[in-house]
Structure 1
Amino acid sequence: MNDDDRTTPAPRTRTPRTRTRRLFGTVLPALLVSGAVVGGAAFIKITSDGADRTVPTTVWAEADDAEPAKDPAGPIGRGRADTELTKKLLPVPPGYQLGPDMGEYGNDGELTGKQAVGRMKEEIGAGYPAAVRREAHREIDRMGIQGLALRTYRLKGGNGQGSLYAEVSLIALKDREAARRWYAVASQRGEGARKGPVIEGREHSSCSLEPETEMADIESMSCVAYEGDVAVVVVAQGAKPINRFTFVELVKDQLDHIASPGTYI
């Protein structure tokens, strides 16, 4: 074949559909996590293709001590256990107390499936193209969210471990496959996040140290995981350096409790 017979392939162009999928793949992981956290403790900044929005960060260290839970379904201070999903929330461990309220949901609350779906879709605001919002809405609908339970924890001071404030969110999905699908997306590390500690013995878990914020003395960490048909999001703040061992133990205890809820002691 002569050189004259050769043709140069036309350059590949990105179609609107390709651009939508790329943007969707960039923003959806953070949206799934931030939508599952009903308070201000998600430390996720999303920056892509003109969409730039930051989930507000609450300095929990400035919050007053929370009042103990008064729900008769569980011992005072351990947390409620009056539904199938709240029974799977880790009872407040020794050395901890219930943390600050997360807005209207308190420090020990539960959302219906409809409320949880609405919460997640709210995270996909007008700053994103309509095609991306529709794609994200369809993905959330496919997960078959049944409900969301949350509890906040505060590590009591005075024991040399430093401050730690955490919010645990459990998302009940329609089946294990939906939980696996959620995890495959949510575990993708966001822009600027660093690899966090490993939860030993928990293959389906992933932790990240979140990007630096304006608060030079505060550090943030998050973990996502799933156990059966339950997706788990744990986010925490603490004074630098955040106590990774304490945080990892909290996450591991929560995952163990889902596998074997047991009873309140």
Structure 2
Amino acid sequence: MALAGAVVAGVGFTVVTVRDADRDPGAPIWKFPKAGSAGDDKGGEHAAASARGLGGMLVPYDVDGWTRGPDLGEYGFDAELTGAQAAALRKESLRDLPRTQRKRLEKEIDKQHIKGMAMRSYLSAEGRSGSENEGTYEVSVVLAQMDRAAVRDVVTFQNDVFDALDVFREGPRIKGHEKDAKCFLPPKDTEEELDTMFCSAHIGNVLVTVTADAAKPLDTQGVAAFVREQLDRISEPGEAV
């Protein structure tokens, strides 16, 4: 799981690194401006901010019981970054990779011309999917806006990495987005106490990455329903529905 986390964090799953940043006392602390952060949400101000840009595409809280999740590192539960901030954060997430791989991926990040990023964490209501393994789980979402071709390349690369590792199981399909989204699950025989599900998708020029965690067993169908809900909010050119 550590290898997968390093790979996807650097390419698209920036949230994997951000979410765990406050759990490692030795990790560098990045001090980006907090103009786009909703960590100190004041109700109406947050609603107004979320109606604009990438933040307006994210699934809102209080829909189907979704509430605020844990802080995404120092960014709070809800944040937006400029293109330059997002690129710097993604490069920082590569720090544990071998130098050759890190440099190659940094060049790829530069080619993607990322325009901005929005992140939000959620805590689910119990019993969303009605399945036997239903329960509370955390979901973290990252939306990244970049060149359309770069978005497709990133999703293809991420999926190829997971397929090549040959240890991850294919996750549930996302209804209505079978061609644009793919999810992966860890091996069944893992001794980890937590279950995780990774999903990546693209719509227009928006890259969507979702990571869900829960004590075993994870409600994978509930997560899939959330991913579908998120993707349905983004129209083809990358505008909130």
Distance 1:30 1:197 in 2: 21
Change (3 A) 1:189 1:138: closer
Alpha-carbon displacement from aligned partner over 1:4-57 (angstroms, at most 9, x marks no partner): xxxxxxxxxxxxxxxxxxxxxxx7555313435453369xxxxxxxxxxxx9xx
Alpha-carbon displacement from aligned partner over 1:169-191 (angstroms, at most 9, x marks no partner): 100113x2121111111222433
2:186 maps to 1:210:
yes
Distance 1:85 1:252 in 2: 17
Instruction: Quote the offset at 1:68 in angstroms.
Output: 9.2
**Pairs within 5 Å for 1:81-160:** 81-92=50-61, 93-125=63-95, 127-129=97-99, 131-157=100-126
2:42 maps to 1:70:
yes
2:19 maps to 1:40:
yes
| Cα root mean square deviation, aligned | 2.8
8 Å Cα contact 1:166/1:237 also seen in 2? yes
User: Residue 249 of structure 1 aligns to which amino acid in structure 2?
Assistant: A
Pick from 153, 165, 168: which aligns with 1:193? 168
Return 5+ residue gaps in structure 1 as ranges.
Answer: 1-26, 43-54, 56-66
Q: Which has the higher helix share?
A: 2
Structure with max Cα Rg: 1
**Pairs within 5 Å for 1:200-239:** 200-202=175-177, 203-211=179-187, 215-216=192-193, 218-239=194-215
Residues matched between the structures, number? 207
User: Residue 200 of structure 2 aligns to which amino acid in structure 1?
Assistant: V
Distance 1:68 1:145 in 2: 26
TM-score by length of 1: 0.69
Distance 1:111 1:195 in 2: 31
Change (3 A) 1:208 1:189: farther
User: Residue 136 of structure 1 aligns to which amino acid in structure 2?
Assistant: L
Instruction: Quote the offset at 1:165 in angstroms.
Output: 0.6
- SS state at 1:133 partner: helix
Instruction: Quote the offset at 1:94 in angstroms.
Output: 2.0
Pick from 163, 172, 183: which aligns with 2:145? 172
8 Å Cα contact 1:101/1:107 also seen in 2? yes
Instruction: Quote the offset at 1:245 in angstroms.
Output: 1.4
Distance 2:229 2:119 in 1: 15
Distance 1:33 1:213 in 2: 24
8 Å Cα contact 2:10/2:94 also seen in 1? yes
Change (3 A) 1:250 1:173: same
Return 5+ residue gaps in structure 2 as ranges.
Answer: 1-5, 22-26, 28-38
8 Å Cα contact 1:41/1:236 also seen in 2? no
Residue in structure 2 matched with residue 261 of structure 1 by the alignment: 240
User: Residue 72 of structure 2 aligns to which amino acid in structure 1?
Assistant: M
Instruction: Quote the offset at 1:222 in angstroms.
Output: 1.0
Tell me whether 200-209 or 151-160 shows the greater mean CA deviation.
151-160
Instruction: Quote the offset at 1:200 in angstroms.
Output: 2.0
Instruction: Quote the offset at 1:142 in angstroms.
Output: 0.8
Change (3 A) 1:125 1:74: closer
User: Residue 157 of structure 2 aligns to which amino acid in structure 1?
Assistant: V
Change (3 A) 1:106 1:88: same
